[in-house]
Each structure stands twice: as C-alpha cells, then as structure tokens.
Amino acid sequence: MTTRTLAAPSPAETDDDARRRALLDQMLIIRRFEERCVELYSAGHIRGFMHLYIGEEAVAAGVTASLEPADAVVSTYREHGHALARGIDPAAVMAEMYGKVTGCSRGRGGSMHLFDAAARFYGGNAIVGGGLPLAIGLALADKVRARPAVTACFFGDGAVAEGEFHECLNLAALWRLPVLFCCENNLYAMGTAIGRAQASTDLVGRAASYGLTAAGVDGMDVLAVASAASAAADAVRTGRGPYFLELRTYRFRAHSMYDPDRYRDKAEIARWKERDPIDLLIARMREAGQLRDEDLAEAERTIAGRLDEAVAAAEAAPREPVEDLTRFVYSER
C-alpha cells in the first residue's frame, strides 16, 4: 500500500495561462450558478432539498479537468458543481432544478438527482455512499470490455462510515478496477463533525489499508487538485489499480437550505473563507500577470448572461404532461 500527502504543484507545473483561466471560469460558473439558485429557491421557484457546493468548487473543477469524455462520473446529492464541470449545459441543470421536462433528468430528479448518460454522468445520488457500488459496477464493465476509461466517484467524509465504502474499496483493490475515489472531506457529515463520528480521521491511511494508492490534497487549491487528479487518473487509466484522493475542503453554506447551521462556530467558517478557492486562484493569476481586472469582469458578464438565459429557458419550459407520469417506470421495449 502507498500513502502520501501531495503538496501544491510548483510554478513550472502550472505555468499554463489557458489552463488556469479554464479552471477559474469553471469555478466561477459553479459559484454563480449556485448563488443564483439560492435566490430562486428563496423566491419559491426551486423547491425540495438543495445542497450547495459553495466553497468546494476547486474539487469539481480540478478533478474533472483530468477526465476524458469516455470516463464516467458518479456523484452525490451535492452534485451541481460536478455536473457543470463535467460539461452538462447549465440550462439543462437549471431546468432540472425547476422540475421542467427540458431538464437533464426530464424534471424527475431535481437538485439531488442530476443525470446525463451522454456525458457519462451517473448521478446525483441521495443515499450517502450509494454511488460507490455504482462506480464499482461501471468500472468493472469498462474493465471487462477492455475500455481504457476511468470512473471518478465523488463522496463525502460521511460516506467513509458506511459499509459500502469498505466493501467497494476492497473489491476495487481485489479486482484492480479503474476507479478514482474522490473523498470530499468537508469535515462535517450533515451536522456531525468528523471527529465526533470517526474513531480515526486518517482517511488516507484507511484507504491505503486496502492496498490502494492514497493521497491527501488541499481541496481549496485548484492547482493542487488538478495536479493530483491528473497523476491519479493517469495511474488508474494505465492499469496501476484504483486510487484514492482525500480532498480536504469546506462548504461555506449549511448542509442544505433547510439547515440552520448551528453546529459550526462562525469564526471557523470565517477562517475557511479566507482560503476561498476562487480568490486564491485569482490572486495567484494576478501575481503572475495572467489575469487583468477587465478579463475577470468580462468573464463575470459572460457567465451572468449564460445564467440569465438558463433561468429564462427554465421559466418558459413545460412540465412533464400528466399522461407521461408512468413513463420510464418500467422498461419499454
């Protein structure tokens, strides 16, 4: 077994202006999309449960940058960022939030169940740890068919306490399946701090005990995430077995829109906000002369325009007709 902690990459490893700009744009659209969703939720346009990804954007942007179109992604109920970073049209995601038929899941999934088979994006999964067995199945299918694809499976630190976590890491190591396990450790499983639920908080060591290569990464540094994910995906893709990344991050908002967030100290949240992944990358790019104020303003205008169009399309889209309610419930031949 191999366990290590990955440091941030050196400037030589990340000296690509276009790459940094793409990562910044990706994080910005995730952040602005969710901020818009908060407004729409508060106005009653979006209903049901909604779990925000604000603060964790570096993980989605950094990991998905290492993936190829043939790769698969399995996510959690906090998956807006993963879906957008995977390339699913913001208009399709927004329509799904509205429960409209033009949504990526025809309005049947809502916030927690985004799905797009064409993008090989297999959820959106409301069950804690529920995506892990799906990832094992997808990876096994790819291996049996000799397809050089990676299955990236995102899950939170709370899922590490579930039986599926241990069963799936064991099978992945035993069968040498092409899975990239991405643990988004935001320190809280709903409202429970990791130290109150886990006897051992060494998640890297726990994964490594199954014989996987495992590494911890600063999940607030998108360049560190991208570098680590690229190395990990390459290892998985070239047959060196499954890989585990613990992405140490933090959600700035409560667990869900229904959560009063009384279990965290406000000073703790403020400290983490000082390491906002978007602000960190902007500062680094400005220091390197890679980003001008007008470039950032233009990016913000472009994103705002795309989101305005997505909201307008969602508002105008129809809901699924009543006569189609039983459609897709059973297999149709």
Asked if the model's pLDDT at residue 1 lies above 50, the reply is no
Asked if the model's pLDDT at residue 125 lies above 80, the reply is yes
- What is the percentage of the chain residues whose pLDDT exceeds 90? 90
Residue pLDDT, tens place only, 209-219: 999 999 999 99
pLDDT at residue 328, rounded to an integer: 82
Which of the four pLDDT bands, split at 50, 70 and 90, describes residue 327?
confident
- The CATH number assigned to the domain holding 279 equals 3.40.50.970
pLDDT at residue 329, rounded to an integer: 83
Look at the chain and report how many structural domains it folds into: 1
pLDDT at residue 248, rounded to an integer: 98
The 3 state secondary structure assigned to the chain is CEEEECCCCCHHHHCCHHHHHHHHHHHHHHHHHHHHHHHHHHCCCCCCCCCCCCCCHHHHHHHHCCCCCCCEEECCCCCHHHHHHCCCCHHHHHHHHHCCCCCCCCCCCHHHCCCEHHHCECCCCCCCCCHHHHHHHHHHHHHHCCCCCCEEEEEEHHHHHCHHHHHHHHHHHHHCCCEEEEEEECCEECCEEHHHHCCCCCHHHHHHCCCCEEEEEECCCHHHHHHHHHHHHHHHHCCCCCEEEEEECCCCCCCCCCCCCCCCCHHHHHHHHCCCHHHHHHHHHHHCCCCCHHHHHHHHHHHHHHHHHHHHHHHHCCCCCHHHCCCCCCCCC
Question: Does residue 329 fall inside a structural domain?
Answer: no
Average pLDDT of the residues in 302-316 = 98
- What is the percentage of the chain residues whose pLDDT exceeds 70? 95
Residue pLDDT, tens place only, 26-66: 999 999 999 999 999 999 999 999 999 999 999 999 999 99
pLDDT at residue 84, rounded to an integer: 98
CB 153 within 8 A of CB 131: yes
Question: Does residue 332 fall inside a structural domain?
Answer: no
Question: Does residue 60 fall inside a structural domain?
Answer: yes
Residue pLDDT, tens place only, 167-199: 999 999 999 999 999 999 999 999 999 999 999
List phi, psi (to 5°) of 181: -80, 120
Give residue for tokens 């908080």: 201
Question: Does residue 91 fall inside a structural domain?
Answer: yes
Mean pLDDT of the residues in the chain:
94
Asked if the model's pLDDT at residue 131 lies above 80, the reply is yes
pLDDT at residue 101, rounded to an integer: 96
Which of the four pLDDT bands, split at 50, 70 and 90, describes residue 325?
confident
Give residue for tokens 């941030």: 8
> Residue 25's domain spans which residues?
2-317
Asked if the model's pLDDT at residue 288 lies above 60, the reply is yes
Average pLDDT of the residues in 70-74 = 98
Question: Does residue 281 fall inside a structural domain?
Answer: yes
pLDDT at residue 332, rounded to an integer: 67
Asked if the model's pLDDT at residue 7 lies above 50, the reply is no
Amino acid identity for residue 148 in this structure? P
Question: Does residue 102 fall inside a structural domain?
Answer: yes
Asked if the model's pLDDT at residue 8 lies above 90, the reply is no
Question: Does residue 135 fall inside a structural domain?
Answer: yes
Residue from 258, 273, 299 nearest 52 by CA: 258
pTM of the full structure: 0.92
Average pLDDT of the residues in 61-86 = 97
Q: What is the dihedral of CA 81, 83, 88, 93, to 10 degrees?
A: -80
Residue from 188, 184, 183 nearest 198 by CA: 188
